[in-house]
Amino acid sequence: MTQRVLVTGGSGFVGATCVLQALQAGYEVRTTIRTPARAADVRSQLVAGGLEDAGGDRLTFAVADLTADAGWAEAVAGCDVVLHVASPFPATQPKDENELIVPARDGALRVLRAARDAGVQRVVLTSSFAAIGYGHPPTDRPFTEDDWTDLDSGVPVSAYVKSKTLAERAAWDFVQREGVALELATVNPVGILGPVLGHDYSSSVQLIKAVRDGRLPRLPNVSFGIVDVRDVAALHLLAMTRQEAAGQRFLAISGDVMSAQEVALLIRGHLGEGGARITTKTMPDWALKALAPFSRTVRGSLPDVGVVRRASAAKAERVLGWSPRSREEAILATVDSLPTG
């Protein structure tokens, strides 16, 4: 009997790729969208990803929103497993951190509660390295799944980091207290890049586009981990199907971190003459700090300036046999898939 998978947020960057890979693997898929109009967007992304029939009748839709109870019972009905991918990830810092925290945390609990009540076997939650590697003093030690972001250390963290940490904490607490037979696994990716199938770009993809288009006169002094969206989706499917994944967290990263300058150099070399306008010069830290009072986005990035946070994907590789593409391939796949102009 073919299993049915619910993927929340199927129109998003990660969600669409999860839908694509689940369909390619032979599953029936239902995905949640906020409005019926987004169904066409999901199908167009599947075609862009190489699925000519856009899922056909093996793909169905349910309208549900993280901020409301309505629709979630219908969304999970008849599903064997759930990939809860949907989560707010804005391009700029919100004025009120609860604009991110509330839908991320309460939305995760809505999905888990509905899944439990429907007899779903397992939920795979898309968390983030944001729930692991922040709020700590500088360290050269790679973070692992045993680490949690410390929100009480006094080290500044962004609203997004808080939202992902509190949402994942709430999910584990719920399953322990009220989950009954429901299993939970989490996938904790770093910055996600790779082929862009639609027009709603993640913050990571927007950064690559800004570099490629030469819109950054100077680069921030930041370093970050990278993983390909195709490998993130593959890890979700492994966490969904492998028995040993139940009750586990899995970091997703390809190799070591890269600086913004290293990323720009890679893209510039890849584009040849077309990359002549790409800057590879780094903005002094003092200049970025001087801009902070005038921009929420800049203020939100200050905790990352000059800080290197490494992570290890050894657990996913050892336990699940996960093998990601190189970080360079992820970056260049992003560049090549973005429209020009």
Looking at the annotation, which residues are catalytic?
164
Q: How far is residue 22 from each of residues 16, 68, 213, measured CA to CA in Å?
A: 10, 26, 33
Rounded-to-integer distance, Cα 55 and Cα 6, Å: 14
What string of DSSP letters covers 87-120?
Answer: ----SS--SSTHHHHHHHHHHHHHHHHHHHHTT-
Interacting residues of 262 by C-beta distance below 8 A, sequence separation 6+: none
Q: Using DSSP, state whether 161 is helix, strand or coil.
A: helix
CA dist., res. 304 & res. 160, Å (int): 13
φ/ψ of residue 241, rounded to 5: -105, -25
Residue 159, CB half-sphere, CA atoms under 13 Å: how many?
Answer: 22
- Environment class of 196 (CB within 10 Å of its CB; exposed 0-12, middle 13-18, buried 19+): buried
Q: For the packed helices 38-48 and 13-24, what is the interaxial angle rounded to 10 degrees?
A: 60
Read off the tokens for 111: 């999905």
C-beta of residue 299 within 8 angstroms of C-beta of residue 93:
yes
How many CB atoms lie under 10 A from the CB of residue 269? Answer: 11
Residue type, 296: R
Which residues are within 8 A (CB) of 327 and not within 5 positions of it... i.e. 6 or more apart?
Answer: 226, 227, 254, 255, 256, 258
Among 319, 312, 257, CA closest to 144? 312
If DSSP codes are grouped into helix, strand and coil, which group holds residue 34?
coil
